């Protein structure tokens, strides 16, 4: 009884398989195209950066960068108004306003040993820091991504892919910087970059696309 049932089952399965078995070379076609899931994130983002960073984003930030003083004054009145005039809001109402920003100032302090190294600049000459220039390699925030109107969250698979783009843009920006090797306190630094603000009182944590240190 048992053997009959078993062999019948085996026969049925074997019959179904010989009828429709499809054997295909492994990996053909799948390696050529980018995986639609998470594993394809980096490849897709690399392509995006290739296409947009140098050709579009850098020129956009250079051309629309606002002086620190102008921006600070505008934010002082109203962050939303300043945002509508100079900035771009990344994705959705809860997001921060992002601005392109430029300026020249004196280094009041520098933390070059930290992984999240930064240079603090005094712009208005009162001796206290007005902006913090992040020179990495750890860079916080996604100001570069959120300032650019051509990266829309809706086009991304999920927030991880979107966030990875933010990080990749930061990395691309920091890679191009001329990093100071010795103490720079007291020197004059000129920068262009992007900054994100949730509220008016926040520190200006700039992601720079270029810095120049005057001797």
Partner 1 sequence: MMRVSLGHDLSSTSATLLILRLRTFVALILVFGFFAYAAPNFLSAENVLIVSKHVALNAFLAVGMTFVIITGGIDLSVGSIVGLCAMVAGWLLLYGINTGLGWTIEFNTIEICLIVMVVGVIIGWINGILITKLNVAPFIATLGTLYMARGAALLSSDGRTFPNLNGNPEYGSDSFKAIGDGNFLAIPLSIWMLIVVALIAAYVAARTPLGRHIYAVGGNERGAALSGVNVDRVKLYVYMFSGMCAALVGLIIASQLQASHPATGETFELNAIAAAVLGGTSMSGGRGKIGGTIIGAFVIGILADGMVMMGVSAFWQTVIKGAVIVAAVVIDQVQQKLQARVILQQRV
Partner 2 sequence: MTISRRLLVSVAVFGLTGTLAGFAAAADKIAIITPGHDNPFFKAEAVGAEAKAKELGYEAIVMVHNDDANKQNELFDSAIAAGVKAIVLDNAGADATVAAVKKAKDKGIPSFLIDREITASGIAISQIVSNNYQGAQLGAQEFVKLMGEKGPFAELVGKESDTNAGIRSKGYHDIIDQYPDLKMVAHQTANWSQPEAYKVMESMLQAHPEIKGVISGNDTMAMGARAALEAAGRGDVIVVGFDGSNDVRDSILKNGIKATVLQPAYAEAQIAVEQADKFLKTGKTGVAEKQLMDCVLINAANAKKLETFALAK
Report the interface residues with partner 2, using CB under 8 A. 90-96, 114-116, 137-138, 140, 142, 152-160, 162-163, 167, 198
The item of partner 2, partner 1, none sharing an interface with residue 16, based on CB under 5 to 8 Å by kind, is partner 1
How many Å separate Cα 63 from the centre of its chain? 19
Structure tokens at 106: 């004196």
Q: What is the CA radius of gyration of the chain?
A: 26
The answer to the question of residue 81 lying near partner 1 (CB under 8 A) is no
Q: For partner 1, which is the closer residue by CB, 23 or 214?
A: 23
The item of partner 1, partner 2, none sharing an interface with residue 7, based on CB under 5 to 8 Å by kind, is none
Per the omega criterion (within 30 degrees of 0), is the bond before 55 cis?
no
Pick the stretch among 10-18, 61-69, 140-148, 199-207 that binds partner 1 (CB under 8 A): 10-18
| DSSP helix/strand/coil, 76 | helix
The answer to the question of residue 4 lying near partner 1 (CB under 8 A) is no
Nearest Cα to 123, choosing from 108, 135, 112? 108
| Cα–Cα distance measured from residue 60 to residue 44, given in angstroms and rounded to the nearest whole number | 22
Contact set with partner 1 (CB under 8 A)? 2, 12-13, 16-17, 20-27, 36-37
């Amino acid at each position: 009884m048992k053997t009959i049932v078993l062999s019948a089952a085996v026969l049925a399965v074997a019959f179904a398989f010989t009828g429709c078995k499809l054997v295909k070379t492994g990996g053909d076609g799948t390696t050529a195209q980018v995986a639609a899931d998470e594993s394809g994130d980096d490849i897709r983002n690399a392509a995006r950066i290739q296409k947009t960073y140098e050709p579009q984003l850098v020129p956009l930030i250079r051309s629309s960068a606002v002086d620190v003083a102008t921006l600070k004054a505008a934010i002082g009145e109203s962050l939303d108004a300043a945002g509508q005039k100079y900035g771009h809001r990344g994705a959705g109402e809860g997001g921060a306003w992002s601005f392109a920003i430029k300026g020249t100032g004196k280094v009041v302090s520098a933390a070059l040993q930290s992984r999240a190294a930064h240079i603090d600049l005094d712009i208005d000459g009162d001796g206290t820091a007005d902006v913090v220039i992040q020179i990495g390699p750890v860079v916080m925030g996604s100001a570069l991504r959120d300032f650019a109107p051509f990266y829309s969250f809706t086009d991304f698979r999920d927030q991880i892919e979107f966030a990875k783009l933010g990080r990749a843009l930061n990395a691309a920006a920091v890679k191009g910087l001329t990093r100071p090797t010795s103490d720079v306190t007291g020197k004059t630094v000129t920068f262009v970059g992007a900054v994100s603000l949730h509220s008016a009182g926040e520190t200006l944590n700039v992601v720079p696309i270029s810095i120049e240190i005057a001797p």
